[in-house]
Amino acid sequence: MDNVIYAAVYFAVTLGAFLIGKYVCPNIPKTVTDKLGELSEWAAKFVEWAKEFKKDKTGEEKMAAVVEQLKKIADEAGLNVTEDQLKAIAQTAYNAMKAGEKESTAEPLEALTATPAATVVINTTAPVTTTEKVAIATDNVPEGATETNADGTVNLYDAAGNITGSVTKEEAEKMAAEVTKIVDEEGNTLADLK
């Protein structure tokens, strides 16, 4: 009889712990920092939204629209946030957006249309027994590799990143168009363009 009572109590405690873990603990409020972080993410999205879709409004009207949207999100999440706090969060998101725009517009327009500096394709010919043209993708980008020279030519680089010569921009584009295979620095095939 004692075993039955012990098993029933053990079952009840286990069931109670499960129910608390399943339904009570997930509803415990997050820390204030987490909540403000989530609001900051929403603020960045709403600032972009206001910039794109409220072009005809003044800055003050855009700020009011962003704060209104943030208030809705805060209310849905059960956050008790004042309007001044929401304005501060929105202003921080706006400042971050403007800082990003300054960084992106600081580059000349040519650099925006050039090959990204994270990857350079170095054209080399495969062994003589084949007509395959292989390009090696690398993250080891020499300084100025994506820039056109003053005379309109483009530098050629070997696998070590040393300048081996130069060709016209048209020749470089033709060489890139003739590539039949792209490999990484270890020789793994990334793309077969045959």
DSSP string across 36-49 = HHHHHHHHHHHHHH
pLDDT of residue 170: 83
Residue 49 belongs to a domain: yes
Cβ atoms of residues 124 and 138 within 8 Å: no
The pLDDT value recorded for residue 124 is 52
The answer to whether position 144 is within a domain reads yes
Domain count, the chain: 2
User: Domain of 142?
Assistant: 135-183
User: Which H/E stretch holds residue 121?
Assistant: strand 120-125
Average pLDDT of the residues in 41-52: 87
H-helix or E-strand spanning residue 173: helix 169-177
Q: Which of 61-65, 118-122, 131-135 has the highest mean pLDDT?
A: 61-65
Count of beta carbons in the 10 Å neighbourhood of residue 121: 16
Amino acid at 100: G
Statement: residue 160 has pLDDT above 80: no
Q: Are residues 76 and 144 in the same domain?
A: no
Which of 12-16, 19-23, 82-86 has maximum average pLDDT?
A: 12-16
Which two structure tokens, joined as six digits, stand for 54? 């409220």
With beta carbons less than 8 A apart as the criterion, state whether 160 and 153 touch.
no
- Do residue 76 and residue 14 come from a single domain? yes
Query: What is the C-alpha to C-alpha distance for residues 65 and 52, in angstroms, rounded to an integer?
Result: 13
According to the per-residue pLDDT averaged within each range, which of 51-65, 117-131, 157-171 is highest? 51-65
Cβ-based neighbours of 57, under 8 Å, separated by 6 or more: 50, 65
Indicate whether 187 pLDDT > 80.
no
- pLDDT value for 12: 92
Residue 78: inside a domain, yes or no? yes
The sign of the dihedral angle between the CA atoms of 43, 46, 52, 56 is negative
Q: Is the pLDDT of residue 122 over 80?
A: no
pLDDT given for residue 174 in this prediction:
80
Is residue 69 situated within a structural domain? yes
pTM exceeding the 0.85 threshold for the entire prediction:
no
* Tokens 């972009």 belong to residue: 48
- Considering the domain architecture, whether residues 96 and 4 belong to the same structural domain is answered as yes
